[in-house]
Chain A
Amino acid sequence: MPKKTIKTFHVEWLQVLDERGNCDEELRPPLSDKEIQKLYEWMVLARAFDEKAFKLQREGRLGTYASILGQEAAQVGSAFALQPGDWMFPSYREAGASIVRGLPLKMVFQYWSGDERGSRIPQGQNDFPITIPVGTQIPIATGAAWAAKAKGDKIAVMAYLGDGATSKGDFHEGLNFAGVFSLPVVFLCQNNHWAISVPVSRQTRAETLAQKAIAYGFDGIQVDGNDIFAVYKAAHEALGRARVGQGPTLIECVTYRIGDHTTADDATRYRTEEEVREWREKDPIDRLKRYMGKKGLWDEAYDHKVALESREQVEAAVAEEEAIPPPDPRDIFRYTFAELPEDLKEQMEHLFGSDGRPNP
């Protein structure tokens, strides 16, 4: 009996705005001029934040920090598509997305300065604190989506992850669950090409990460991750489908980590300057700027104003953060359980010396 093909698959690639700022107006998502400017402003703010965080770390005023440089479109475009009632589960390289969601800049600084109060996400913003162990947020996001579906809430959940996370067991388990139960969750993968020093070719032999969704029974799409229109469009449509019960989507945003893995890394050890230069030319902010220029939404005066306001916002956030008194050492204990058990109360007393002062 001859073999026959019983299934074939395809993976779509989406680009709306090319590297020179040419836009496919038919594909362009229906964003108002004001919204387009807002996207630009968020990206400029995210970059200003990122630059400042890097400098503060070098000055010894901030701990280790994971830069988002180059990934502004992937983060801002996707987070902009979320609605306030939606839930979001970030990885550790998500400052841009978190800011768009409403997390005050000073809290992002606060967390990276080593103060856990920066992870106390404000009420009303349904986001989890960032996740350090790679990919482990994926099943949790899936669970929140399950709960939303069980309660009949018409919301969607977005889980952020990177290319490295697609090699983890939790990626498989989380996406598989989401597929089996047809849950309202969007997996937003930023393929930034590098997991510290390991290139994406060492994460998978698959040609795209998007195609992994096919095995879980739902759609995967690859988009130009430096094209904010493509990212927004893919995220907006996937979230819309999720909210009306049409199940999960995997979106692979092809982008690039321009900076080192973190401030503790030196990427010149494992990749070429030339590769970084090539990606700098695909810069997401420049691209939108060119488009906006053609449309009369951008000029030097506007740009100057946006840059200045962003810097001022960032500087104000730094000043505010650095004025926050250090946390109470009792905080180490306070949130272990709803009620502090006797043994922990006793251990908490050991924080203090006989003079009643904390004993570092």
Chain B
Amino acid sequence: MAQLTMVQAINLALAQEMERDPRVVVLGEDVGKNGGVFRVTQGLYEKFGDGRVADTPLSESAIVGVSIGMAAYGLRPVAEIQFEGFIYAAMEQLISHASRIRTRSRGRYHCPLVVRVPYGGGIRAPEHHSESNEALFAHTPGLKVVVPSTPYEAKGLLVSAIRDPDPVIFMEPKRVYRALKEEVPEEEYTIPLGQARIATEGKDNTLIAWGAMLQPTLKAAALMGERGIHSEVIDLRTLSPLDTRTIIESVKKTKRAVIVHEAPRTCGLGAELVARINESALLYLEAPVERVTGYDTVMPLPKLEQYYLPNAERVTEAIGRVMRF
């Protein structure tokens, strides 16, 4: 089995799905000859041609809008928005059309569309290239939001996203793109949407993370493990629809929870997770649920981003607080 980066794993998933299903097309800025600014689509243009791997005008609203029309007509578009900071121009298409055409037409039309979007900080990128705006999409009924955390996860989740009959925002943690390699099977496999996974089992507290935050969270769990505190780490995988059951079962078992996300704190997904834990497991809790998050500020430029982004140290401190409470 090959050791792949997340970039390679996503590329493999795209190539295999395009091979399998002629309806799958890739479109976006620089995704063709250039193979994408992160090289995620490298080689697809050569293999499948301009008809199925299309460099588009620099036009985010139309990349998504056109994809909606393609999806309604019967194709399976996989659109790339180059950076999460540029997706705002396409929000109207996502919110007013992609997410609701099934409802509006009472099922006559639906929108099997994947919007791939690299997100998040930690790679010393320019302004508007480091945000973590998943909550905007999770707050939009009718959109599914998927955030893979590792290469293996990315391949299995992307295949499921492409085959899903509804629009999926597939947020790729650019910090993880090349940061780690793991065994990724060449053979087809899928990871169902809407199901979280237990990345590490533990009995003392539950740590909930997704995407790029999984690694610092696992590191914090390992550090605390050396001190005899055993965390259960949940990799959420799909932010909408949420796998509430896995979270609640874990929190009922461990009685303590820490949520880690790099997005701003207020109205971040962590707030929703805390609410759900309170609704379903309040009387099991031995401590208030902690949140380790980005701040309610503008995402800083690279010289300050290490202060903004949660790291293992901040997570271990939060674990300490919930354990001491």
Contact = CB atoms under 8 A, between A and B. Distances in A.
Interface of A: 87, 116-117, 119-121, 123, 128-129, 131-133, 136, 138-148, 150-151, 169-170, 173-174, 176-177, 180-181, 331, 334-338, 341-344
B65 interface: yes
B228 interface: no
A147 B106 contact: no
B69 interface: yes
A325 B65 CA distance: 35
B109 A128 contact: yes
Contacts of B75: 147, 150-151
Given A119-B106, A139-B69, A338-B164, 19 more contacts: A116-B103, A119-B108, A120-B106, A121-B108, A136-B96, A136-B97, A140-B68, A140-B69, A142-B69, A143-B70, A147-B75, A151-B73, A169-B89, A170-B61, A173-B61, A173-B62, A176-B62, A337-B241, A341-B194
Given A139-B62, A169-B61, A177-B59, A335 B73 contact: no
26 contacts: A116-B104, A129-B105, A133-B92, A139-B62, A140-B68, A140-B97, A142-B69, A143-B65, A144-B69, A148-B73, A150-B70, A151-B73, A173-B61, A173-B65, A176-B57, A177-B56, A177-B59, A177-B66, A334-B107, A335-B102, A336-B102, A336-B103, A337-B165, A337-B241, A341-B194, A341-B241
Question: Nearest 9 pairs between A and B by C-beta?
Answer: A143-B69, A139-B65, A147-B73, A341-B241, A173-B62, A143-B66, A120-B106, A144-B69, A140-B69
A138 B93 CA distance: 11
A136 B96 CA distance: 9
Interface in B81-136: 89, 92-93, 96-97, 101-110
B164 to A, nearest CB: 8
Interface string B224-262: 000000000000000001101100000000000000000
Contacts of A138: 65
A173 B59 contact: yes
B66 A146 contact: yes
A181 to B, nearest CB: 8
A88 to B, nearest CB: 12
Nearest to B65: A139
Contacts of B291: none
Main secondary structure of the interface of A (DSSP, over half): helix
Most A Cβ at <10 Å: residue of B57, B75, B108, B141: B108
Contacts of A173: 57, 59, 61-62, 65
A139 B72 CA distance: 12
A128 B68 CA distance: 12
Interface residues of B, number: 48
B310 to A, nearest CB: 26
A116 B109 CA distance: 13
A147 B165 contact: no
A116 B102 CA distance: 11
A335 B106 contact: yes
A337 B102 contact: yes
B320 interface: no
Contacts of A148: 73
Given A140-B69, A148-B73, A180-B57, A335 B92 contact: no
B175 interface: no
B241 A129 contact: no
B166 A123 contact: no
A139 B107 CA distance: 21
Contacts of A131: 97
